[in-house]
Amino acid sequence: MDKLTGNRTFIDATLEIKSGMALDEGDPPVEMQILKSIERGDLYNLTAIEMCLHTGTHIDAPKHFFDEGKCIDEISPDFYIGRAKVFEIRGTKSIRLSDVKGLDIEKGDRILLKTDNAEIIGSGEFHKSFVFLTSDAAEYLVEKGIKTIGIDYFSVEEYGSQTFETHHTLLSNGVAIIEGLDLRKAAAGIYDLIALPLRIKGGDGSPARVLLSPVI
């Protein structure tokens, strides 16, 4: 038995990265280029990939919105590894202050929000009317002292926002943001979270592999 994982079950909350995948509007498409191919007579397979750092399941660094903010390689892994709470909030077009006030949230929590986005996250196309986090809800979560927040679509922000208040509120107060989570297989509850970004020097974000293990 593996000493690290034991007999634990892991839910992969990560979207596949592939050509033609759904992307936030304005992001460049994923390009996969085969450089070497055994099928073509080469000795090995070798593929290059070109994509935005905020493709699929990804993590935003403060650098994404603040020139002097921390880059992805400067953020402690503690924000992305540890106990997390998945809350299911359904039947609303936005997550408002009233939706989060009644949740069991404590200082230092990592919280992941499962919403009606679960119905569209795997559709293969971008939907403008996704569930987002309002700025007053973000302010409340900052006041509660959370460490990390994740949501099950490509942005915590309302589509078409020109002010990005939610991002500014969270990132300026040291709250880590995970976006593009696939929480379809994750029921509300307590999990051990592993969400590791690539160590990209100076990166304003990074794709991440996100795993959840239920805490029994």
Strand (E) or helix (H) holding 141: helix 135-144
pLDDT for 216 equals 75
Q: E strands along the chain, which residues? A: 11-12, 31-36, 46-50, 58-60, 81-88, 94-95, 110-114, 132-133, 148-151, 176-179, 189-197, 205-214
Both tokens of residue 64? 């994404």
pLDDT for 1 equals 41
The DSSP line for 76-105 is -GGGTEEEEEEEE--S-SEE-HHHHTTS--
Q: What is the pLDDT along the chain (216 residues), one digit of tens a residue?
A: 455 566 789 999 999 999 999 999 999 999 999 999 999 999 999 999 999 999 999 999 999 999 999 999 999 999 999 999 999 999 999 999 999 999 999 999 999 999 999 999 989 899 999 999 999 999 999 999 999 999 999 999 999 999 999 999 999 999 999 999 999 999 999 999 999 999 999 999 999 999 999 997
Measured between alpha carbons, how far is residue 139 from residues 32, 61, 136, 178 in Å?
40, 18, 5, 17
Both tokens of residue 50? 């070109």
pLDDT for 4 equals 57
Kind of pairing, strands 176-179 and 148-151?
parallel
3-state secondary structure of 166: helix
Residue ranges of domains in the chain, CATH in brackets: 11-15+53-214 (3.50.30.50)
Q: What is the pTM of this model?
A: 0.95
